[in-house]
Structure 1
Amino acid sequence: MTAAMRLISSNHRSSVAALQLAVFIVLIIASFQYEGVKGDVACIADCSDFPACTPAACDGECLKNGFKNGGSWVYYSFNLHCCCNLPAAAAP
């Protein structure tokens, strides 16, 4: 009986560790997926709601960071939580 309890306990610990590892791996993959699409999410057509996020400021950041999204240069600002979509003509 004691051996069976030890085996169950050992299997339970292994299952919990495997589950924790699986969740950790999924979270890492999800974070990379988010990084890849951050220019596509929650973008706004113009920056009027975010005065500090002007098209001119975006243009400089876009040229520096090289983000490109569907023919428009996109600058995603984590601190402002906004995107500025610039006309494709603004791209070099």
Structure 2
Amino acid sequence: MDGKKRVKLEELLPIIEEKLSAGGTVVLPITGTSMLPLLVAGRDKVTLKSAILPLEKDAIPFYRRNDGAFVLHRKVGEDENGYVMCGDNQWVMEHGITDKN
């Protein structure tokens, strides 16, 4: 055992929000394959900072879907429902992401 404890991101969210709202940064490891080849699980980490809103095209925000999932995808456009997001390794666009996510 390596002495590391896995914690759900849900449990860390209050700490992350507090740190970011105070102007700090948070470093998180990458999981998943949706942002390949740019971001690789087990190799890369991301440094989060407060978003500059509205998001510019090609921004890669960390957001939470309405179903509770945490996501790091690229803004590829906008429509009447908000931002259009997509992982670099995906083809299905995600609509309806707003600054509240």
Higher relative contact order (CA 8 A, sep 6+): 1
Structure holding more strand per residue: 2
Give the TM-score, by structure 1 length.
Answer: 0.25
Task: Tell which structure's C-alpha radius of gyration is larger.
Answer: 1
Structure holding more helix per residue: 1
